[in-house]
């Protein structure tokens, strides 16, 4: 039982390049989330998904797209990276009830030059 | 509207001293409250959560928190700090809002434990 895994762990991009971050969970959770963590700002929700094929915008969705083609995977895409997207990205998953615990992945550190 | 305020971005305590990390929230609907811990270069790990029932919640590593509705607070405490408690702690509130789950995290409190 690996929990929540994220690929890659580190990435450096040049401005304008694109990339996709992969999140996978093996707990059969319905909900999946993408957050970004910046110093002094806590975690901010980018996008989330309530089930396979369903996604929704969070607090800071601009510049990102997501897809959830399979229940266990949640992809975060940057079509044209900007330096403002330099951050640590965390994926999380949970069951559907509000009281359920979110389980977090180890994070991806992204630097955009 | 939903928000979380963590008072003090940095807190220092001596080893063996009381740990008190403050969290105040606002929510227009009954909230579910969580405390997470993050060690350097790792993801967040759940310490404890309040859903319903008993307002004093016990978590892992000797931490506990008390939900006080009248004060809209959910402060985290530990009677005696250990060096291994040095980490960043996040308070979070979750509630149904407009037909979907809304999750809001505080900005975090870094705990330093002085030997």
Q: What pLDDT was estimated at residue A71?
A: 96
**Per-residue pLDDT tens over the stretch B50-91:** 998 889 999 999 999 999 999 999 999 999 999 999 999 999
Helix (H) or strand (E) holding A65: strand A65-67
Give the distance from residue B18's alpha carbon to the nearest chain A alpha carbon, in angstroms: 24
Give the distance from residue A108's alpha carbon to the nearest chain B alpha carbon, in angstroms: 10
What is the overall mean pLDDT for chain B? 93
Q: What's the average model confidence in pLDDT over B89-106? A: 86
From chain A, pick out residues whose CB is under 8 angstroms from the CB of B42. Answer: 106-107
Q: What share of chain B is helix, strand, coil (3-state, %, to 5)?
A: 5, 60, 35
Of B42, B51, B108, the CB nearest to A42: B108
Neighbours of A99 (CB within 10 A): 13
Q: What pLDDT was estimated at residue A105?
A: 95
Q: What's the average model confidence in pLDDT over B13-37? A: 94
Tokens of A79: 């079509």
Strand order across the beta sheet in which B64-68 lies: B3-7, B19-26, B73-78, B64-68, B56-58
Q: What pLDDT was estimated at residue B102?
A: 81
Of A50, A92, A99, the CB nearest to B32: A99
Most A CBs within 10 A among B1, B3, B40, B43, hence the mutation to make, goes to B43
Q: Do B103 and A105 touch (CB under 8 A)?
A: no
Q: Least CA distance to B50: which residue of chain A?
A: A99
For residue B2, is pLDDT > 80? yes
In this prediction, residue B31 has a pLDDT band, given cuts at 50, 70 and 90, of confident
In this prediction, residue B95 has a pLDDT band, given cuts at 50, 70 and 90, of confident
Give the distance from residue B90's alpha carbon to the nearest chain A alpha carbon, in angstroms: 8
Q: What pLDDT was estimated at residue B8?
A: 92
Average pLDDT of adjacent 10-residue blocks, chain A of 113 residues? 91 96 96 93 92 91 96 96 96 88 94 97
């Amino acid at each position: 039982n690996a929990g929540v895994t994220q690929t890659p762990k580190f990435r450096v991009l040049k401005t304008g390049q694109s990339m996709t971050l992969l999140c996978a969970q093996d707990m059969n959770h319905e909900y999946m989330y993408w957050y970004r963590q910046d110093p002094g700002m806590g975690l901010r929700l980018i996008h989330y998904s309530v089930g396979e094929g369903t996604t929704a915008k969070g607090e800071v969705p601009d510049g990102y797209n997501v897809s959830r083609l399979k229940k266990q995977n949640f992809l975060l895409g940057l079509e044209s990276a900007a330096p403002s997207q330099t951050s640590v990205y965390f994926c999380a998953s949970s069951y559907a009830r509000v009281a359920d615990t979110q389980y977090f992945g180890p994070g991806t550190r992204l630097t955009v030059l | 509207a939903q928000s979380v305020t963590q008072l003090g971005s940095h807190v220092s305590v001596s080893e063996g001293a009381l740990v008190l990390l403050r969290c105040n929230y606002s929510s227009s609907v009954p909230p579910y409250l969580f405390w997470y811990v993050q060690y350097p270069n790792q993801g967040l790990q759940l310490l404890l959560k309040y859903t319903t029932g008993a307002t004093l919640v016990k978590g892992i590593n000797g931490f506990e928190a008390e939900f006080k509705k009248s004060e809209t607070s959910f402060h985290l405490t530990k009677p005696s700090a250990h060096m291994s408690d040095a980490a960043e702690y996040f308070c979070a509130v979750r509630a149904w809002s407009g037909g979907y789950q809304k999750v809001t995290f505080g900005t975090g409190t870094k705990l330093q434990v002085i030997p």
